[in-house]
Structure 1
Amino acid sequence: MMPKFLIVDDEPTNSLLLKKYLEKYGECDLAENGQEAIDAVRHSFDVCDPYDLICLDIMMPIIDGNDTLKEIRMIEEESAQSDLSTKVSKIVMVTALSDIKTVFESYNNLCDGYLTKPITKNKFIETLTKLEVIPS
């Protein structure tokens, strides 16, 4: 089965760039804010096909990236309690924010990686390879 990715960013240019980098590796869904991301993740668990990777911006309308991250991890935890085979998604924060407080908050909320914009293709692919989301 092909990997499945969710790109969450309120800036379409950023989403399309990441989609371009990822689409040769798997299927990409897009969300424009945290609420859309949470709904997509919940749906992916309802159909027993969770995302392999979620790329998550921090500064977004409705629900910001760190609150979205916390909510996604709660959905995964609830799902794991009802189904022991449930996997969790790798979540990489993709943001313009590089201050240490924000970085620590993201890791405390259990992100797997953190990239600051502008994202270069090489850095992005290198990060996903290290996380074993895509083949090396």
Structure 2
Amino acid sequence: MRILIVDDDESIGLYLQTVLAPFARCDGASSGEDGLLLFRQAHDHGRPYDVVMMDILMPGMDGHEAAETMRALEADMGIASRDAFKLVMITSLVDDANVTRAFFKAHATCYLVKPFDKESVLDELRQNLVL
């Protein structure tokens, strides 16, 4: 399993990589633009990510825009929805507009609310069949 973690807070990215390392190979990006670059490279090399964990609030391209662009790229490549990556949104935002956009526009699998701990991350990912 391959996981891409996109978060502008380096400590969150490193924490998630440490928590998820026993389950998957994890790569990190600190911006939506960098996340898209890694996402494209993974597809170009025939090794796409199984899971993308995406922070919503980031400077430049935010997580919504990056995730929606990734979904559009998969559609352009002819990847069926059943074979698409699982999207986990990461944020401190739990308002209706952000939750709705994450689930209905980017087709998020689940939503992790900061702050979180190892047990809550693993429970949420297992409960939603990400791990």
Q: 1:53 aligns with which of 48, 51, 54?
A: 51
- AA aligned to 1:62 is G
Q: 2:62 aligns with which of 42, 61, 64?
A: 64
Give TM-score scaled by structure 1 length: 0.89
Query: Deviations 1:82-106 (Å, cap 9, x if unpaired)?
Result: xx6x921101001111111111111
In structure 2, the residue matched to 1:124 is: 121
Q: Which runs of 4+ in 1 moved over 3 A?
A: none
Q: Secondary structure at the match of 1:103?
A: helix
In structure 2, the residue matched to 1:103 is: 99
Q: Secondary structure at the match of 1:80?
A: coil
The gaps in structure 1 that reach 5 residues or longer are: none
Shift of 1:80: 1.9
> How large is the RMSD of aligned CA atoms in angstroms?
1.5
The gaps in structure 2 that reach 5 residues or longer are: none
Contact 1:53–1:89 at 8 Å: present in 2 too?
A: yes
In structure 1, the residue matched to 2:15 is: 17
Shift of 1:130: 2.5
Give TM-score scaled by structure 2 length: 0.92
- AA aligned to 2:74 is E
Contact 1:90–1:111 at 8 Å: present in 2 too?
A: yes
The yes-or-no answer on 1:92 pairing with 2:78 is no
Distance in 2 (alpha carbons) for counterparts of 1:7 and 1:98: 20
In structure 2, the residue matched to 1:34 is: 32
**What number of residue pairs does the alignment pair up?**
129
Q: Secondary structure at the match of 1:91?
A: strand
In structure 2, the residue matched to 1:8 is: 6
In structure 2, relative to structure 1, the CA distance for the partners of 1:113 and 1:64 (3 Å cut) is same
